[in-house]
Every structure is written in C-alpha cells, then in structure tokens.
Structure 1
Amino acid sequence: MSAPLFREDAYLREARGLVVASSAEGVVLDASLFYPRGGGQPGDAGRIVWDGGEMAVADCVKGEGDAIVLVPAEGAVPPPVGTQVLQHLDWDRRFGHMRVHTALHLLSVVIPLPVSGGAIGAEKGRLDFDMPEAPEDKQALEDRLNELIAADHAVSVEWIEEAELDANPGLVKTMSVQPPRGSGRIRLVRIGDVDLQPCGGTHVARTGEIGRVRLGKIEKKGRQNRRVTVHLDG
C-alpha cells in the first residue's frame, strides 16, 4: 500500500518515503507524493533522491491493490528496497493539472450536460459533452466560466457513503468514468455553492488560482458528442 500524500495536501512539493518494492518497471513507496494517472488526469513526474543516487520519475501509475508505481525515466536506475528517499515533485506540471482540472469542473457547470469523456493537461484540458447541437454563443460560455473563476470560490473535499451516492445519482456527471467503489466511501470535490461531484484528482484551493481561460474550437465528435477545450491564458 502507498499512502496517497497528494490526497491530504495537493500543494505538497517534497516528502520522504521508504522503498517497499523496486524493479525496472517502477518503484513503490510507502507514501506517495506523486499522483497516479487516472480519471483523465496524467500521472505526476519529478525525481527521487537518496544517499548516493537519484532517479528521474517520468510517470506515475496505479499498481496492484493500493500500490502507486513511480515509473523511472529511460536509463534511470531505481533504488533498492529499504532505501529512504526524498521525493521532489515537478510542481509546475502538477499545478497546471490542478488549475485545468478545477476549470473543467466549472465548465461542467457552465454547460450542464452529461459528460462522455475528458482529458487534462498542464496548459489545457477538454470535456466531451452529450451535445447534439453546438452552443449558439461560445463567447457567453467563456465569459460565464471566467466569472465563476474570478469569484474565487473555495474548493474543498468531503466524503459520503456509497449508499448516499446511490441515492443521489445526479452527482455523477461523467458517463464514461464512474467513481471508484469498494472502500465504502466516495470522495467529493465541492466548489463553493456552484458544484459538487465525485472526483479523486488534485485541485486548486480557490478558483481564483486558475486565472483567466479561453475556450478553443468546439469540435463535433460523433453524432451526439461535442468536444470543448479550455486553455489557460497564462
């Protein structure tokens, strides 16, 4: 098991860890600063250092059970089991993911339609909506999105029982990705009084940290779907 440090504090940039598994495929620590790829959000990158060595982390993925696997960059030599390491996060990349991810939650408020897919990057992200017809006024959507961002809503996390989610299925906006089950609890991300939905990703603490955004071209993807891309504007 890898304790998910990113879940307790998304702003943590350095942390210690103990190597509990190690191979050419990846390194598992007892506590992971790195977010593993999932829910449309990429895995984190960075490096781990120890007495006499260093390994660049190219990606982070989910392993068996609750293991989080740090994928070494090409040519990097992983540390042996039992090594104490210091984890260094590629913060600029992670913070970009946090800003984009929160912006996409707000996009689902501005466009209140079922979401059929999505992807998050460090500079832009997109959601695919069940939207047969293109919106009449894209600029109005962009203006509304920036209004929500500028309102500087607090972003917080809360947990509910799986049975509570079953009783409130409308909380789930994504048709393609369902919240992970099995632990008995579901993690929710709340943005002020404007949005509440299940999510396991990392987010900014306040929407003002996103900064201004702009909407890219709205693309038709199949008979029912339209893809809306959000770009960070600096």
Structure 2
Amino acid sequence: MAASVQTGDTSPSPDVSTSSPSPPVDETRLLPPTSLLYFHRKFDETEYAEPSRVLHVDEGGQRIILEKSLFHPQGGGQPGDVGRIFFRMQGDGDGETAEKSAEVKNTTIINKDLPDGGHVVLELLSSSPSSSGPALTKDTVIARQQVDVESRKANARLHSAGHLLDAGVLRAGVKGWSPGKGFHFPEGAYVEYALSKEGADIPSSPEEKSQMIQKIQAAVDELIRSGDAVRVRLEQRKKEETGEKQSAAGPLLTSATARYVSIGGVECPCGGTHVASLENITERGQLRLVIKTLQKKKSNMRVSYEIVAALMT
C-alpha cells in the first residue's frame, strides 16, 4: 500500500503550557514624573498649601506617589524627609468633607532611570490616616504637605557641612584630594576624597593626621564665621547632553534641568537640601562642626565629621 501523503503545514503546534508569560508592567513607570517642589523652592520652606493629586497607592495603602512633592527622598547621601500630609475625604451621607492627616515616616524615590525623572514615594505609618474612614485612594487631593522642621534642618546642616569640607580642604592647601562620595547621615557622616597618584598629601602617623585635621578644622571654622550664603543655580540641559550630565548630577535631578550648589566657593551638582547660609550649619554658634578622623581607604581618604552642641563658656 502506498504511503499516504500529508499536505499543508506540518510544523508542530507551539507548546503553550511551556511558553514564558510576559513580565507584568510596572504601572508606576507610566505615571508622569513627580514635580520636585524642594528642588526649586527655598530650603527652609517646609509647608506647601496648594493641591497635589495622589497618582498611585500601593495595595496596602501605605506607599503613595504624589504629582508634586515637598518631601525630599532618601538619596544623594542624605536621609529622606518625614512629616505629615493633610487631605479631605467625603463624609458619610451628609455631603460634608472631613480633614484627615497621615504621618510620613520616610520618603524614597523609584524609577529614577526614566528620562523625564522618577517618582517620589511617601511611606505612611500603618496607623495612618489618623481618623476613621476610608483610606487614601488614587486621585485623592492632598491639600497640604508639612515637612518636619527639625528633621529637615538637621539633614540640611549635615549635607551642607559635607560640602563645606570640600571648601575647607581647598582653603587649607591640602594637595591631591578630589571630592567623591558623601554620606550625610547623623550616624557616621563622612566625605571621601580620591587621592591623586602623585603629589597627594597623605598623613600617616597619628601626629600628622592630627595636624591635618587641625588645618582643615581651622579653615572650616573661618568659612562658617564668614556667614557666606549658600548659592543655587539651575541649568537647562541640551537634549544631547542629558545622558552624561544625569550621571554626574545624581538621581534626584531631572533630565531637563541640572541643579548646582555652591558652598564656600566650591560648586558641584546636587539635588539635596541645604542651609541658607554657612552660619546656619552651627545655628549661629549653638552647635559646632567637628572633624573627627582621617582614614585612608585604598586610594581614598575618608574624612569623618559630626555636628555637636557647642561648649558654652
């Protein structure tokens, strides 16, 4: 018997059961970028009383994204802001609205790789909102944002102090130190400097380190006494420049605008919060910026510092 001849497409059917599903789309990446209010406003402005919509709420209702944020997220070497948000929600049957508030325990940033900027996330305490009733939902209008004043001031002092060390190192005549990574948290604040391969001042003995600390400390103290203002400028970027400058300026800057901060005559790109003038670092003599230690770590020099209460005489 002749063998039967098959016609048509004889390729095997795809095994649907073993095909990989498409990864879920993170809907937050489709949101418009958060407008960074702290980016353009004065550092000591800790309250914003204009409406801002909630763009996203996570399933637990404790992480929200606003269209505009006065809260600075953790990043750029400093902690995130804390505080409260205030909003109104519809009452039960009477058509009236009741003001509620929620405590912000931390602020972070996500999607910072997006070309137009990322999204600031406010993390709320589990007990928020403060009064009974429905929780925050998408499109809830935040009527007022209130950053905790003392926390913002403490973060700003430490961040500005870290920048001031750069100016102090320069004024003290230290050779071969190039500013690098900064960590401006209350626990263990420091700035690291890359050491040039030739000609860098590298103290080795305890006596040499002590002398170097004294030189930089004297320069920093002199700069603080000057009361010089902290200066900020914004620079619009050309489209072809955004990739390079985004990397240099850090994740808290938008792709369209670079922000530069000048402290003690030394300018660098920065998206953080700062004091208005150098004397605010020490609250006009109530506090003191103290350089604690110098520690060589491979090809870097770490300068640790703290802000402590001044000894009153």
CA contact (8 A) 1:60 1:70 kept: yes
The reply on whether 1:62 has 2:109 as its aligned counterpart is yes
| Aligned positions of 1:123-162 closer than 5 A | 125-131=189-195, 133-134=202-203, 135=209, 136-162=211-237
SS of structure 2 residue aligned to 1:21: strand
Letter in 2 for 1:11: D
1:190/1:206 Cα in 2 relative to 1: closer, same or farther (>3 Å)? same
CA deviation map 1:164-195 (0-9, x unaligned): xx8xx9xx9xxxx7214772432111236x21
Q: What's the C-alpha RMSD, in Å, of the aligned pairs?
A: 2.7
For 1:83 and 1:162, the matched residues in 2 are separated by 34
CA deviation map 1:96-135 (0-9, x unaligned): 1111111111101222422332211258731012247235
**Structure 1 stretches of 5 or more lacking a match?**
none
SS of structure 1 residue aligned to 2:222: helix
For 2:155 and 2:279, the matched residues in 1 are separated by 15
For 2:187 and 2:218, the matched residues in 1 are separated by 19
Map of 1:213 onto structure 2: 289
TM-score, reference length from structure 1: 0.83
Letter in 1 for 2:156: M
Map of 1:198 onto structure 2: 269
CA contact (8 A) 1:118 1:126 kept: yes
For 2:47 and 2:227, the matched residues in 1 are separated by 27
CA contact (8 A) 1:119 1:127 kept: yes
For 2:126 and 2:146, the matched residues in 1 are separated by 18
For 1:179 and 1:117, the matched residues in 2 are separated by 12
SS of structure 2 residue aligned to 1:41: coil
Give the fraction of aligned pairs with identical amino acids, expressed as a percent.
Answer: 27
CA contact (8 A) 1:14 1:33 kept: yes
For 2:84 and 2:194, the matched residues in 1 are separated by 39
Higher relative contact order (CA 8 A, sep 6+): 1
CA contact (8 A) 1:124 1:232 kept: no
Aligned with residue 90 of structure 1, among 144, 148, 159:
148
Which has the larger share of strand? 1
Letter in 2 for 1:201: G
SS of structure 2 residue aligned to 1:109: helix
CA contact (8 A) 2:293 2:305 kept: no
CA deviation map 1:116-161 (0-9, x unaligned): 3221125873101224723542112111111111101111211235
The reply on whether 1:45 has 2:115 as its aligned counterpart is no
More displaced, 100-109 or 22-31? 22-31
CA contact (8 A) 2:44 2:276 kept: no
SS of structure 1 residue aligned to 2:77: coil
CA contact (8 A) 1:96 1:121 kept: no
More displaced, 58-67 or 33-42? 58-67
By how many angstroms is 1:76 displaced?
3.6
**Structure of higher CA gyration radius:** 2
TM-score, reference length from structure 2: 0.63
SS of structure 2 residue aligned to 1:149: helix
For 2:254 and 2:154, the matched residues in 1 are separated by 30
CA contact (8 A) 1:53 1:79 kept: no
